[in-house]
């Protein structure tokens, strides 16, 4: 009797750490099911891929990234290295010229069972169709933010003011404001390059086989069901991807602990809870806002580990680090965020509410102090604080969701999260949801079953 054909999956994440790291986790999930994986990247990103996937047999293919793009320095092949996020659309549209190289490589890899490509790589749908390969899109967004964006669209076209709360159609218990949506989608008449690019991506996703969501059904059942009612392509909640990845034991034992983990170990030994502070690699904060953050952290008197870009923190004659050296650590190098969140000393996370950070915090059972900055982060913050109630929110000086945060508006909620009753309630809730997250990806869990169903549909092999 002939053996069943091998399942071969192609993955192509967008050139951004926040989009790439979850795809590494997805690759490991698929590997656990004895699926062959080929992952695509560009030459400058290949070392990061090779290092991150060094313990696997994943096939990595790099294809040339376009050169001589106006406004983008030579050698920049990832959004976290862009001089400004205002160049995002230029960067994303430029990837379209990678298509011939991608298709040439695909042809050499056939047969391919299905491909998972980032929603921003719109052009990969045409490549998939050319070779008859089912394409699943991936954005790294929650079902909640997708549902809110769709459902609130009709209200945003009215005269509702920027900070006037309105009940979301189809979800009357949820109140949002125009300012919870990013430009240009918050405008009464959305237009411009970013809007056009986003619509192109949405249309391509609607024509794809489906959409992979890095979440789990128990967390977002109402919103996932809504997305599936309004969309022509099915959303599959198959996460959290990060809940299944554990670094190999031999790697853990041989590598020396990073300095920040040693510092967290000391805090744990002394029984001192730590607030982890990180706003992602793309947040752009003014010098005035950084100054208020420093004052707020200092006056809160809590222990903290703050990860920040070197260019943002370094100021002449800045004595901040000296003043807080016994209870605060500032890191300007890359850190392993999951390792930090899962450390026993970390009891809170001051976060920009990017979806990766939210889902990692849930899996680590750490409550969040929400400070959204851009993209759909304001919607994620609403979900965290008002819907699933696993955190609190910083206070802006004018009460608006996009207002300036003075040190008092940071110091007070930090204390509440780390020491107050509301913080204890958030901790209790995130522990419950964290258990559900981990159970979802275990054999028999909702995400495990959803992935099984998807692979079964696409491979025709039955259960895997």
58-65 long-range contacts (CB < 8 A, ≥24 apart) are 58/27, 58/31, 61/105, 63/98, 63/101, 63/102, 63/105, 64/98, 64/101, 65/15, 65/95, 65/98
The tokens for 33 are 């099911």
The DSSP bridge partners found for residue 277 are 306, 350
Residue with tokens 């599959």: 236
- DSSP secondary structure code for residue 241 in this structure: G
Contact assessment for residue 217 and residue 447, using Cβ atoms and an 8 Å cutoff: yes
Counts for the chain of helices (H) and strands (E), in that order: 20, 15
The tokens for 121 are 């790589």
Q: What is the pLDDT of residue 456?
A: 92
The tokens for 19 are 């989009």
- Note the pLDDT tens digit of each residue in 312-346: 555 555 688 888 888 999 998 888 999 999 999 99
Q: What is the pLDDT of residue 254?
A: 59
Share of the chain above pLDDT 70, in %: 94
Mean of pLDDT values over 272-294: 88
Q: What is the pLDDT of residue 83?
A: 85
pLDDT-based confidence at 253, cuts 50/70/90?
low
Mean of pLDDT values over 38-66: 95
Q: Is the pLDDT of residue 413 over 70?
A: yes
CATH topology of domain 8-144+179-245+439-460: Rossmann fold (3.40.50)
Q: How far apart are CA 152 and CA 181, in angstroms?
A: 10
Residue 139: closest CA among 260, 30, 22, 41: 22
Q: What is the pLDDT of residue 464?
A: 39
8-144+179-245+439-460 with 259-437: one CATH topology?
yes
Q: Is the pLDDT of residue 120 over 60?
A: yes
**Arithmetic mean of pLDDT over the chain:** 90
Q: What is the pLDDT of residue 3?
A: 41
Q: What is the pLDDT of residue 315?
A: 57
Share of the chain above pLDDT 90, in %: 74
- Note the pLDDT tens digit of each residue in 157-181: 888 888 999 999 999 999 999 999 9
CA–chain centroid gap for 74, Å, is 27
Q: What is the second-level CATH architecture of the domain 259-437?
A: 3-Layer(aba) Sandwich (3.40)
CA–chain centroid gap for 256, Å, is 28
Q: Any idea where the domains of the chain sit in the sequence?
A: 8-144+179-245+439-460, 259-437
Please report, for residues 12, 109, 151, 166, 455, the alpha-carbon distance to residue 125 in angstroms, rounded to integers and kept in the order given.
12, 17, 26, 36, 19
Q: How far apart are CA 89 and CA 95, in angstroms?
A: 10
Q: What is the pLDDT of residue 451?
A: 96
Give the Cα-Cα-Cα angle 311, 316, 320 (nearest 5 degrees): 85
pLDDT-based confidence at 250, cuts 50/70/90?
very low
Contact assessment for residue 3 and residue 66, using Cβ atoms and an 8 Å cutoff: no
pLDDT-based confidence at 247, cuts 50/70/90?
low
pLDDT-based confidence at 2, cuts 50/70/90?
very low
Contact assessment for residue 339 and residue 356, using Cβ atoms and an 8 Å cutoff: no
Exposure string for 125-134, b = 16+ CB within 10 A, e = fewer = bebbeeeebb
- Note the pLDDT tens digit of each residue in 129-168: 999 999 999 999 999 999 999 999 889 888 888 899 999 9
């Amino acid at each position: 009797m002939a053996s069943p054909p091998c399942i071969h999956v192609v993955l192509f994440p967008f050139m951004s750490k926040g989009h790439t790291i979850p795809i590494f986790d997805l690759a490991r999930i698929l590997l656990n099911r004895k699926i062959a994986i080929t992952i695509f990247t560009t030459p400058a990103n290949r070392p990061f891929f090779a290092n991150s996937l060094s313990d696997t047999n994943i096939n990595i293919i790099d294809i040339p990234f376009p050169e001589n793009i106006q406004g983008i320095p030579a050698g920049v092949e990832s959004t976290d290295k862009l001089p400004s996020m205002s160049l995002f659309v230029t960067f994303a549209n430029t990837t379209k010229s990678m298509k011939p190289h991608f298709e040439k490589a695909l042809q050499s890899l056939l047969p391919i069972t299905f491909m998972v490509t980032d929603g921003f790589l719109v052009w990969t749908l045409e490549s998939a169709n050319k070779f008859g390969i089912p394409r699943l899109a991936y954005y790294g967004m929650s079902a909640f933010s997708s549902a809110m964006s769709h459902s609130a669209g009709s209200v945003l076209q009215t005269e509702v003011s920027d900070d006037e709360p309105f009940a979301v159609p189809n979800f009357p218990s949820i109140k949002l404001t125009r300012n919870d949506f990013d430009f240009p989608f918050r405008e009464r008449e959305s237009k411009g390059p970013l809007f056009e690019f986003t619509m192109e991506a949405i249309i391509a996703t609607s024509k794809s086989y489906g959409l992979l969501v890095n979440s789990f059904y128990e967390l977002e059942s109402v919103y996932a069901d809504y997305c599936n009612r309004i969309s022509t392509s099915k959303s599959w909640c198959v996460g959290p991807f990060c809940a299944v990845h554990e670094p190999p034991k031999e790697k853990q034992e041989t590598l020396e602990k990073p300095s920040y983990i040693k510092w967290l170990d000391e805090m744990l030994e002394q029984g001192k809870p730590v607030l982890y502070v990180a706003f992602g690699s793309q947040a752009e904060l003014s010098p005035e806002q950084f100054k208020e953050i420093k004052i707020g952290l200092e006056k809160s008197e809590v222990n903290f580990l703050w990860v920040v870009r070197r260019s943002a923190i370094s100021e002449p004659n800045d004595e901040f680090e000296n003043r807080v050296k016994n209870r605060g650590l500032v890191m300007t190098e890359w850190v392993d965020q999951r390792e930090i969140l899962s450390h026993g000393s970390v009891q809170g996370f001051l976060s920009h509410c990017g979806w990766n950070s939210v889902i990692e915090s849930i899996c680590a059972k750490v409550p969040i102090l929400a400070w959204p900055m851009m993209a759909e982060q304001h919607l994620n913050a609403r979900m965290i604080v008002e819907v699933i109630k696993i955190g609190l929110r910083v206070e802006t000086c004018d009460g608006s969701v996009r207002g300036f945060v003075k040190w008092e508006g940071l110091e007070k909620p930090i204390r509440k999260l780390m020491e107050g009753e509301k913080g204890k309630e958030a901790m209790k809730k995130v522990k419950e949801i964290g258990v559900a997250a981990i159970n979802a990806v275990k054999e028999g869990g909702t995400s495990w079953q959803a992935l099984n169903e998807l692979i079964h549909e696409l491979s025709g092999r039955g259960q895997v």
